[in-house]
């Protein structure tokens, strides 16, 4: 029942929850950014979110996203691609988004860099990590990252910002934290090697607080802003 959804109120509530969680885990509340995940939502709902200050939006499906990017081209939205990437779709992703969170193969990183080209600022990317090691899920395994990161950092038109994960469902807050923790540790270990990564994209409507406790810098929230998806 979209009519009963108050997007402005939901965003305000989530911002408060982010601030509260950040304080509880001794973090600056400004170190956690809210990415509004707007897949399947009509452009009008994104516009409502924008009117209360939301600037970062995440989309999963390219054709749908391109339509919204066009429909909302009068707004200064920062577009993030967070969905599965087919290699024949990389050109539009490289050209129309500022961020890609779901880079799950080296080949995709290479194509995005090549197709981003010289005309635009480097494309911000995260490497997607299959943190729960589910055979059904996309992403690098944690122990594959060492071999990949050097190659990715050489690519001229992308800027590696950090790591992203979509973990398996966990029942308790503590279990959720345990799942996120290795990702934080991996980022820290890369930074000890001087990589200067600043992004941990993790945490959704159901596990946002655990993600913030483990260092998330971007939380990707759909349902809690826009209501349940059909
Ligand atoms: C849909 C989606 C989200 C948002 O999930 P909610 O549970 O609706 O908050 C976050 N990240 C990714 C990659 C998604 O596909």
The residues lining ligand 1, judged by C-beta closer than 6 Å to any ligand atom, are 37, 39, 60, 82, 166, 204-206, 220-224
pLDDT band for 2, please (50, 70, 90 cuts). Answer: low
Are 148 and 110 in contact, with CB atoms under 8 Å apart?
A: no
Are 96 and 69 in contact, with CB atoms under 8 Å apart?
A: yes
pLDDT band for 122, please (50, 70, 90 cuts). Answer: very high
Quote the pLDDT of residue 3: 58
Asked whether residue 128 is domain-assigned, the answer is yes
Distance 166 CA to ligand 1 centre (A): 8
Quote the pLDDT of residue 132: 86
DSSP character at residue 180:
H
Number of domains in the chain: 1
Give me the CATH number covering residue 87.
3.20.20.10
Q: DSSP E strands: which ranges in 16-108?
A: 33-37, 56-59, 78-81, 99-103
Ligand 1 atom with the smallest distance to the CA of 223 is 8
Asked whether residue 49 is domain-assigned, the answer is yes
Q: How far is the CA of 213 from the CAs of 130, 200, 226, in angstroms?
A: 20, 12, 24
Are 57 and 79 in contact, with CB atoms under 8 Å apart?
A: yes
Asked whether residue 83 is domain-assigned, the answer is yes
Asked whether residue 1 is domain-assigned, the answer is no
Residue 4 predicted with pLDDT over 90: no
Ligand 1 atom with the smallest distance to the CA of 102 is 13
Burial class (CB in 10 A: 0-12, 13-18, 19+), 38: buried
Quote the pLDDT of residue 135: 79
DSSP character at residue 140:
B
Ligand 1 atom with the smallest distance to the CA of 224 is 9
What domain range includes position 99? 7-226
Q: Whose CA is nearest to atom 6 of ligand 1?
A: 222
Work out the mean pLDDT of the chain and round it to a whole number. 96
pLDDT band for 64, please (50, 70, 90 cuts). Answer: very high
- CA–CA distance, 164 with 224 (Å, rounded to integer): 20
Distance 219 CA to ligand 1 centre (A): 9
Distance 220 CA to ligand 1 centre (A): 6
- CA–CA distance, 214 with 192 (Å, rounded to integer): 17
Distance 221 CA to ligand 1 centre (A): 6
Residue 196: name the closest of 147, 222, 159 by CA: 159
Distance 41 CA to ligand 1 centre (A): 12
Asked whether residue 94 is domain-assigned, the answer is yes
Residue 208 Cα to chain centre, angstroms: 13
Residue 79 predicted with pLDDT over 60: yes
Distance 111 CA to ligand 1 centre (A): 25
Ligand 1 atom with the smallest distance to the CA of 220 is 10
Are 109 and 152 in contact, with CB atoms under 8 Å apart?
A: yes
Asked whether residue 2 is domain-assigned, the answer is no
Residue 184 predicted with pLDDT over 90: yes
Asked whether residue 160 is domain-assigned, the answer is yes
Residue range 128-135: mean pLDDT, rounded? 89
Number of C-alpha atoms within 13 angstroms, CB side, residue 193? 9
- pLDDT tens string 18-31: 999 999 999 999 99
Ligand 1 atom with the smallest distance to the CA of 225 is 9
């Amino acid at each position: 029942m979209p009519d009963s959804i108050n997007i402005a109120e939901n965003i305000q509530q989530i911002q408060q929850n982010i601030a509260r969680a950040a304080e509880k885990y001794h973090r600056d509340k400004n170190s956690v950014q809210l990415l509004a995940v707007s897949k399947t939502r009509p452009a009008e709902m994104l516009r409502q979110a924008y009117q209360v200050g939301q600037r970062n939006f995440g989309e999963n499906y390219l054709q749908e996203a391109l339509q919204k990017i066009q429909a909302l081209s009068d707004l200064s939205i920062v577009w993030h691609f967070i969905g599965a990437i087919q290699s024949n779709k990389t050109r539009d992703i490289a050209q129309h988004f500022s961020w890609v969170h779901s880079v799950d193969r080296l080949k995709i990183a290479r194509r995005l860099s090549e197709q981003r080209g010289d005309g635009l600022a480097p494309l911000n990317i995260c490497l997607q990590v299959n943190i729960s090691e589910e055979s059904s899920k996309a992403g690098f395994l944690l122990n594959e990252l060492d071999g990949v990161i050097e190659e990715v950092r050489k690519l001229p038109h992308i800027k590696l910002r950090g790591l992203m994960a979509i973990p398996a469902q966990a029942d308790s807050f503590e279990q959720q934290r345990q799942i996120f923790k290795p990702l934080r540790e991996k980022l820290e270990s890369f930074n000890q090697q001087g990589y200067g990564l600043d992004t941990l994209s993790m945490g959704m409507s159901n596990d946002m607080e655990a993600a913030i406790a483990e260092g998330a810098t971007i939380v990707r929230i759909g349902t809690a802003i826009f209501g349940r998806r059909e």
